[in-house]
């Protein structure tokens, strides 16, 4: 079969930049093929996607070298609109891609631009709505939809065009684990049903490999490093070298001393063969792996009792929430969108007023304090650092909270500098915020909260959309704060994060707490996983295959091993 | 649908008209009501708009909060006019008939009261149709309507995008403002005026910067889906005109014609009963 | 040119949404009972300066129209048009600036502020009251005083909010070469 898209010795340099972003790209995709592209931030993935969908060079100007052809025609000789008839892109931010006022209008958008008339317009919209299973929500506004539904609408809006190639730009970034799993399944079904070529750009390798992928392309520094099958890829060391996270079961197998080779079919947890030798090695490692030492601190910092809250006076967004947080804990709050995680933190910080229940902080009634007073004890860091930064210079941004509290300039200088040192921002103290990377900006927002010396910080999705290196950087930083005695509460969708860094996780569902336990237990408990829209870890499946009965304990030791051995 | 503008989805003759028709009628009606101060005409318009309410199956309680705003606004404006220009009626109608035996600058005159009556009627004649338009027109149809009556589709789509992103911007504003308040940004009366405005800026800067990111992503998303490809575009929510649409628009044109004729007959925009 | 136009369409829509939300829901108490200060003109001036006169005109027009609509007190055309005129005038006056390119110098700040003062005066002291008299036959002294007060407050908020926004936005496009890490 012929190639849909083919890069030959392709390179690209943005007009605004001095050196090229892509070099020596040789890559092609055929109809019906499914390719995963991964690589660290700044490796050129996004530019490559822009080249494929035509935003380069039609919206982002620059110089192309070599050849990039779409059905044997050079894309530079086509127009953006001609390319978009063949290549559909589902953007990471499904809120931004949702440009219609309702589901139906959004799906119809491309047809409207093509001047498709009635009755074809309505017919085609309902056809496509069925294809992506959103037909019951046609008159819903985006605010009435979940993240997964919005993504399906985006997909529908692209599929109305009968495209030949679908590109998904980080499809998992804003979804909870279960919905993410479903998204990967839907993409797989669609590619089988329609025969389109699929390119998925995503750094959560393991989650994408949940369904069959023909090839994985790893990029680094503007070049393609490998282009091979998943089995070959996970058998090599490329992932670790290039800062892409290895699947957990592969890591566990490697720790156990198993030589991972392509003939074990290790590309997916569903296919990987665990024979007698592999089982023996895994069991042996499990028995000798260190047990985590759990420090028992009985000192309750925060005590929430029977908390209830409703936005509209009808539906309870929080329903009888009781939770105790010990000083020095690192706590993960998990659950699907709309389960009440963010609402809980908002009520805690005083952004919303509770309807019923009590909040005690160090034994005192916390609900009597104002937003500002609460912030001296519990700091809140929003997901997107850009939503918090309001000063041009880093120093001023970090100093803001102190200045509004009327602290004298000498003390401000001292405290800001101290905080900048703790947060690893000292070298940048005289920089404008805008010159920093996303991860560094995140640090600035954390620093601007830390400067007020709260004992607790709450972070909403601290690592969303970050590659493995930035993820590790942010999480190690939080961990170091935690070691200084700060209690850290993280709201997250990321199962890895909660396994690796949290001491405890609390699962929310429909405004209630359905589980409050150590992470290894939560993530191996079928019922909780289902209800809180989580996904069980591949380690669980690995244990089953290897005949290890106590999967929870295996997971526990795996985490301890990573914490104590690998990370040091 | 987001119900920012109090759209009430019911089946009625007025709901049945296309958005474009209702928009044209709104413009013509407002123009007619603005064009003349003829008391008889304004009274007739008011009566007509009151008939339209039951015809649209819109009840007073559905729109009571809007009427509340209107009442406050109306009273405030009338008071202001009286305070600033107690002789305005006299200037317009050319006579001065004091009432209750009082004289002086602020003494009530027949002319002044008649002017206020007319001023009041002007609201009564034009506000109900705005409320009706808002309650019977699906916001989704609004952009399509604008395009239909000749507004360029790019501009019409700007309107649709504004409707689309208002709830998002509102939510984002709220979140940012709470987070900034936690850092000590104060917008209440405790701070001085200049500080209050500066605090507002501290909330606006992150809001605007994230909105600028949004502009970039949304325009990419729209281009990738072919926006701007052709000179025209169709609309999923667009509907063809029916006989009732033509009739409604023709009627409103007639209103404007009557208003114009009245201005000619009265030789001024006012109907003057004093001479 | 096409890129420019799609971006303008989106900027207009989002600009109008911002104008609406700030004008409709955000109230800074002015100290005078029942009178709040509108900060949306600072944002409108910014949108005009970055995206040009058409985006400014339409953001003001659509945003203000929606505000009137949602209150239901009838569309107060004279003021809606004045908002649009302000947006448009600011767009023309700042046409030569390159805020998008990260440039907003002291000279630009001065021009921006002179422009906003003049634009506000045109909008609120000339256009809005004149239209009020033409359309609604309101007494002149009332509408001119309202216009003057409005212009004064709007000039103050635009001077602070508008200028700060432009400075902050221009700073997000820095020249990285000049920065060195320090120990």
All structural domains of chain A, each given as residue ranges with its CATH number in brackets, are 3-243 (3.40.50.300), 247-288+538-568 (no CATH), 300-537 (3.40.50.300)
Q: Give the residue numbers spanning the domain of C19.
A: 2-174
Region B135-139: mean pLDDT is 87
B60 touches chain C (CB under 8 A): no
Is any Cβ of chain B less than 8 angstroms from the Cβ of C171? no
Considering only CB atoms, A431 lies closest to which of C167, C168, C179, namely C179
Q: Of the candidates C12, C37, C157, which has its C-beta nearest B158's C-beta?
A: C12
d(CA B147, CA A144): 27
Q: Are B23 and B101 in contact (CB under 8 A)?
A: no
C29 domain residue, yes or no? yes
Residue C72 confidence class, pLDDT cut points 50, 70, 90: low
Of C5, A107, A201, A83, the closest CA to residue B219 belongs to: C5
- Residue C73's pLDDT is what? 66
pLDDT(C3) > 50 = no
**CATH code at position C107:** 1.10.1760.20
Taking 50 as the pLDDT cut, the residues of chain A under it are none
Per-residue pLDDT reduced to its tens digit, B71-86: 887 888 888 888 888 8
Torsion (CA) C25, C31, C35, C40 in degrees, nearest 10: -50
Indicate whether this complex's ipTM tops 0.95.
no
**Strand, coil or helix: what is A333?**
strand
Chain A nearest CA to B140, separation (Å): 6
In a domain, C119, yes or no: yes
C183 lies in some domain: no
Cβ atoms of B13 and B25 within 8 Å: the answer is no
Contact between residue B74 and residue B119 where contact means Cβ atoms under 8 Å apart: no
Q: Is the distance from CB of C78 to CB of C36 less than 8 angstroms?
A: no
Interface of C with A in 131-170 (CB under 8 A): 167-168
Contact C18 B212 (CB under 8 A): no
Residue C131: cis peptide before it, omega within 30 degrees of 0: no
Contact criterion met (CB < 8 Å) for C3 and B4: no
Rounded mean pLDDT, B94-104? 77
Residue C181 domain flag: no
Would you say residue C79 lies in a domain? yes
Pick the residue from chain B with its C-alpha nearest to A138. Answer: B1
pLDDT at residue number A294 = 62
pLDDT score, position B225: 92
Whether omega before A57 lies within 30 degrees of 0, making that bond cis, reads yes
- Is C115 contained in some domain? yes
Region C29-33: what's the mean pLDDT? 59
Give pLDDT tens digits for B22-53.
999 998 988 888 888 888 888 898 888 888 88
pLDDT score recorded for residue C180: 66
Residue linked to tokens 């041009």: A392
Average pLDDT score, chain B: 85
Confidence at residue C146, expressed as pLDDT on a 0 to 100 scale:
85
Domain membership of residue C182 (yes or no) is: no
Identify the DSSP state of A11.
E
Question: Would you say residue C180 lies in a domain?
Answer: no
C interface mutation test: which of B215, B233, B259 has the most C CBs within 10 A? B215
Strand partners, A318: A309
Question: Per the structure, how many domains does chain C have?
Answer: 1
Give the residue among C15, C47, C20, C22 at the shortest CA–CA distance from C112: C47
Could you give the CA distance from residue A463 to residue A172 in angstroms, rounded to a whole number? 13
Angle at B173 between CA B169 and CA B174, to 5 degrees: 120
Question: Nearest 10 degrees: CA dihedral of A269, A173, C172, B187?
Answer: -140
């Amino acid at each position: 079969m012929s190639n849909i898209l083919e890069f030959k010795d392709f390179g690209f340099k943005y007009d605004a930049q001095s050196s090229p972003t892509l070099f020596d790209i040789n890559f092609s995709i055929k109809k019906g093929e499914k390719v995963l592209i991964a690589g660290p931030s700044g490796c050129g993935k996004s530019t490559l996607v822009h080249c494929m969908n035509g935003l380069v060079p039609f919206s982002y100007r620059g110089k192309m070298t070599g050849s990039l052809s779409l059905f044997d025609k050079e894309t530079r000789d086509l127009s953006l609109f001609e390319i978009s008839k063949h290549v559909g892109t589902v953007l990471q931010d499904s809120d931004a891609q949702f440009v219609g006022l309702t589901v139906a209008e959004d799906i119809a958008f491309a047809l409207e631009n093509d001047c498709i008339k009635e009755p074809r317009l309505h017919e085609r919209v309902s056809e496509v709505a069925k294809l992506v299973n959103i037909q019951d929500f046609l008159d819903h506004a985006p605010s009435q939809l979940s993240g997964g539904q919005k993504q399906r609408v985006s997909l529908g809006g692209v599929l109305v065009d009968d495209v030949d190639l679908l590109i998904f730009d980080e499809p998992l970034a804003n979804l909870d684990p279960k919905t993410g799993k479903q998204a990967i399944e839907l993409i797989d079904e669609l590619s089988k049903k329609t025969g389109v070529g699929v390119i998925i750009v995503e750094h959560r390798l393991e989650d994408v490999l949940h369904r069959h992928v023909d090839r994985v392309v790893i990029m680094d520094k503007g070049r393609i490093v490998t282009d091979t099958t998943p089995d070959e890829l996970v058998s090599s060391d490329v992932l670790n070298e290039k800062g892409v996270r290895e699947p957990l079961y592969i890591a566990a197998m490697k720790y156990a001393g198993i030589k991972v080779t392509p003939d074990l079919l290790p590309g997916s947890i569903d296919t990987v063969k665990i024979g007698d030798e592999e089982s023996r090695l895994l069991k042996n490692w499990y028995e000798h792996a260190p047990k985590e030492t759990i420090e028992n601190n009985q000192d309750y910092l925060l005590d929430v009792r029977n908390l209830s809250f409703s936005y509209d006076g009808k539906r309870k967004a929080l329903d009888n929430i009781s939770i105790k947080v010990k000083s020095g804990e690192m706590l993960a709050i998990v659950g699907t969108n709309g389960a009440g995680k963010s609402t809980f933190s908002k009520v805690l910080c005083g952004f919303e007023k509770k309807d019923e229940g009590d909040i005690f902080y160090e034994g005192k009634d916390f609900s009597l304090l104002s937003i500002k007073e609460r912030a001296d004890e519990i700091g809140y860091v929003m997901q997107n650092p850009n939503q918090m930064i309001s000063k041009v210079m880093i120093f001023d941004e970090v100093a803001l909270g102190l200045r509004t509290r009327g602290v004298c300039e000498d003390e401000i200088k001292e405290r800001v500098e101290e905080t900048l040192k703790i947060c690893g921002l000292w070298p940048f103290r005289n920089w404008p915020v805008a010159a920093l990377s996303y991860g560094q900006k995140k640090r600035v927002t954390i620093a601007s909260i830390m400067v007020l010396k709260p004992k607790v910080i709450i972070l909403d999705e601290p690592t969303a959309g970050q590659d493995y290196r930035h993820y590790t950087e942010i999480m190690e930083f939080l961990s170091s704060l935690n070691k200084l005695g700060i209690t850290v509460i993280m709201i997250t969708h990321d199962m890895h994060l909660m396994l690796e860094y949290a001491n405890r996780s609390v699962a929310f569902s429909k405004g209630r707490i359905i589980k409050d336990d150590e992470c290894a237990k939560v993530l191996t408990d079928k019922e909780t996983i289902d209800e809180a829209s989580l996904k069980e870890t591949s380690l669980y499946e690995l244990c089953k295959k290897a005949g290890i009965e106590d999967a929870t304990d295996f997971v526990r030791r795996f985490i301890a091993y990573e914490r104590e051995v690998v990370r040091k | 649908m987001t119900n920012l503008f109090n759209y009430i989805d019911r089946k009625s003759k007025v709901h049945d008209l296309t958005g474009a028709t209702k928009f044209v009628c709104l413009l013509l009606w407002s123009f007619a009501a603005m064009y003349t101060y003829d008391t008889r005409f304004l009274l007739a318009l008011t009566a007509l708009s009151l008939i339209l309410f039951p015809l649209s199956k819109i009840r007073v309680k559905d729109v009571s909060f809007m009427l509340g705003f209107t009442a406050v606004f109306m009273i405030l404006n009338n008071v202001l006019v009286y305070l600033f220009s107690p002789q305005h009626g006299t200037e317009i109608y050319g006579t001065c008939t004091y009432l209750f035996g009082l004289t002086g600058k602020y003494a009530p005159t027949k002319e002044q009261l008649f002017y206020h009556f007319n001023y009041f009627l002007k609201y009564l004649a034009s506000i109900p149709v705005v409320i009706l338009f808002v309650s019977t027109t699906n916001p989704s149809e609004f952009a399509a309507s604008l395009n239909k009556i000749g507004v360029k589709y790019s501009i019409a789509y700007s309107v649709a995008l504004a409707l689309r992103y208002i709830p998002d911007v509102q939510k984002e504003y709220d979140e940012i403002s709470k987070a900034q308040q936690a850092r000590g940004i104060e917008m209440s009366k405790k701070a001085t005026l200049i500080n209050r405005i500066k605090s507002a800026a501290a909330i606006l800067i992150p809001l605007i910067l994230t909105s600028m990111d949004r502009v970039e992503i949304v325009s990419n998303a729209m281009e990738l889906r072919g926006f701007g490809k052709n000179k025209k575009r169709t609309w999923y929510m667009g509907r063809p005109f029916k006989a009732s649409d033509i009739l409604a628009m023709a009627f409103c044109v007639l209103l404007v014609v009557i208003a114009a004729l009245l201005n000619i007959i009265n030789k001024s925009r006012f109907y003057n009963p004093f001479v | 040119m096409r890129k420019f136009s799609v971006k303008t369409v989106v900027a207009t829509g989002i600009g109008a949404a911002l104008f609406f939300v700030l004008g409709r829901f955000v109230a800074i108490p002015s100290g005078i009972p029942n009178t709040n200060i509108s900060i949306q003109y600072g944002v409108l001036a910014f949108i005009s300066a970055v995206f040009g006169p058409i985006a400014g005109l339409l953001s003001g027009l659509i945003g203000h129209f929606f505000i009137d609509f949602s209150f239901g007190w009838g569309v107060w055309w004279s003021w809606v048009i004045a908002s649009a005129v302000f947006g448009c005038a600011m767009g023309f006056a700042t046409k030569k600036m390159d805020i998008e390119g990260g440039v907003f110098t002291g000279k630009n700040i001065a021009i921006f502020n002179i422009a906003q003062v003049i634009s506000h005066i045109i909008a609120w002291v000339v256009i809005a009251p004149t239209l009020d008299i033409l359309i609604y036959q309101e007494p002149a002294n009332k509408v001119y005083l309202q216009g003057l007060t409005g212009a004064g407050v709007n000039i103050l908020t635009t001077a602070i909010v508008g200028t700060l926004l432009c400075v902050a936005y221009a700073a997000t496009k820095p020249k990285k070469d000049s920065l060195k890490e320090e120990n």
